[in-house]
Amino acid sequence: MKKLSLILLTLLVSHYGVCQLTNLQNIANGTPLTANNPDVSGNPYFTDFVAGEVLLANGSVFGGLIRYNSYTNELEYKEGFDVFTLEERQVQNFKITIDGKQKVFEKGLYRPANANLFYERLAENNGMTLIKVYTSAIGQDSNASSYGSVMGKAFIQSMTVFLCSNDDCSEVKNNKSLIASLPEEKQDEAAELIKKEKLNLKKEDDAIYFIQTLP
Q: Measuring CA to CA, which residue among 46, 76, 73 is closest to residue 64?
A: 76
Residue 150 domain-assigned (yes or no)? yes
Residue 186 domain-assigned (yes or no)? no
pLDDT at 110 over 90: no
pLDDT band at 41, cuts 50/70/90? confident
Give the number of domains in the chain. Answer: 1
Name the residue range of residue 39's domain.
Answer: 3-171
Q: What average pLDDT score do residues 153-160 get?
A: 88
Side-chain half-sphere CA neighbours of 202 within 13 A:
4
**pLDDT the model gives residue 149:** 47
pLDDT at 209 over 50: yes
Please give the DSSP secondary-structure letter assigned to residue 206.
H
pLDDT at 93 over 60: yes
Q: Catalogue the long-range contacts made by 23-30 (C-beta closer than 8 Å, 24 or more residues apart).
A: 23/82, 23/83, 23/84, 24/76, 24/83, 24/84, 24/85, 25/82, 25/83, 26/81, 26/82, 27/78, 27/81, 27/82, 27/83, 28/81
Residue 185 domain-assigned (yes or no)? no
Residue 215 domain-assigned (yes or no)? no
pLDDT cut 90: percent of the chain above it: 35
Q: What average pLDDT score do residues 14-39 get?
A: 44
In angstroms, rounded to a whole number, what is the distance separating the alpha carbons of residues 144 and 82? 31
Residue 74 domain-assigned (yes or no)? yes
**pLDDT the model gives residue 121:** 95
Residue 213 domain-assigned (yes or no)? no
Between 80 and 162, the higher pLDDT residue: 162
Residue 195 domain-assigned (yes or no)? no
Across 30-34, 47-51, 178-182, which has the greatest mean pLDDT?
Answer: 47-51
Residue 189 domain-assigned (yes or no)? no
